[in-house]
Amino acid sequence: MGLFDDDFYSPKVSRKALKEHLGARKQGGWRRFRLKNRKSLQLVLMSVIATAVVITALYGILFGFSPTKKLSNLDLSARAVHASDTIRPAVVSIINEQKFSLDLNGGALEKDSEENGVYKEAGVGSGVIIQKDEQYAYIVTNFHVVSTAHRVKAVLTTGKRLEAEIVGMDQITDLAVLKVDAKGIDYVAEIGDSSKLRAAEFVMAMGNPLGMGEAITFGVVSVTRETVPVSLGQNGVLDWEQEVIRVDAAINQGNSGGPLVDLNGRVVGINSMKISNFGVESIGYAIPINNVVPVVEELMEKGYVSRAFLGVSMIDLQQYWSRQQLEADAESGEDSTLNLPKEVYEGIIVLEASGPAKEAGLTYNDVIVKLDDTKITSTRDLRKYLYSNKKIGDEIVVHFYRGKQLMKATVTLGENKPES
């Protein structure tokens, strides 16, 4: 007896069972053959496709080729064209006109001069229409584009020239709002969100470079948020810091005030300045639109931006020393005019005190060295502390030297209302 003596495990097969088995195989054999080969064919096809993908990827890595590269470029170009077409009707050119004397000198007259003269184009810039009501359309541009103008004109993309009125200006943020007759203006730019910008994102700078008419430059966001020192008086003294977006899209004279636009056709910034030193290329700056909007709203409401007001005309102590070139005093460690202690070499000289500062006792030649507990070394420091930390009506402790004596005064801050 074998190990497998029962019928279930027995290796012995009867002729009848074998015949029945072979008959069943003849009937279903072709079906099983087709099923088996279909699965094999699918495996082969999948292997071929996978191999092709791998080879293409390796080829792209080695030779810089991508089968979707051309398609991506076409898509990028189409988006840029669509975005520019969308916003173009809202982009305007700004013309700064000043009145010049009719005499032989032909110099520019003061704004409030009643002398007869002739208006001439003194500068160009750009702007963007951001709001419209039944009567007026409102345009955002830069402060430095219109601050010296005796009158302003806005030129639409259709070539139509409109008389523009300055609604409000703010030197600190370099922004201004104009208004023009709304008749015939049908489009207002869509405002984006500058906080969502990413480095290497494509953007367009639009405006009127060099007065040559509307133009578009294309580039990427280099830095999404950067702080750069600026000279508010355009005199080379860096007395403020501006938060900006850095881009490599060309921004030339005349582009100032125009929109920085994303590929959805939305305004994400207002073009403001560029670095034009020798050897520097494609470094431009735009004011983030998220910073622009609250300033514009306040300019439209009040005509100015309300900030805390200390009431001092000032100059940096170091700037004063460099101007006077007091070499002898520098060697001795003291300044004979101000009579300061030798350890005091940074601070702010009060040239004139008015309003809150005058009421608190500050006067000419006082040298401010600290506000509250914050050391102040420059005009930039003073403005930054004042505008960032204080509100109208707050008290501030001013520490200052009057000669060699360190003194302090508590000032109740006022409001910086513009002179009427």
> Which residues lie across from 208 on neighbouring strands?
none
| Residues with active-site annotation | 144, 174, 256
Torsion of CA 96, 97, 103, 107, to 10 degrees: -20
The Cα–Cα gap between 71 and 217 comes to 22
CB count within 10 Å of CB 347 equals 27
The answer for residues whose C-beta is within 8 angstroms of residue 232's C-beta and 6 or more apart is 171, 172, 239, 240
If DSSP codes are grouped into helix, strand and coil, which group holds residue 305? coil
Which helix or strand (DSSP H or E) is residue 382 part of? helix 379-389
Q: HSE of 233 in the Cβ direction (CA atoms, 13 Å)?
A: 10
- Return phi, psi of residue 204, to 5°: -130, 135
Between strands 266-274 and 190-191, the pairing is parallel
Q: Give the angle subtended at the CA of 160 by the CAs of 118 and 112, to the nearest 5°.
A: 30
The answer for residues whose C-beta is within 8 angstroms of residue 98's C-beta and 6 or more apart is 108, 109, 119, 120, 122, 148, 149, 150
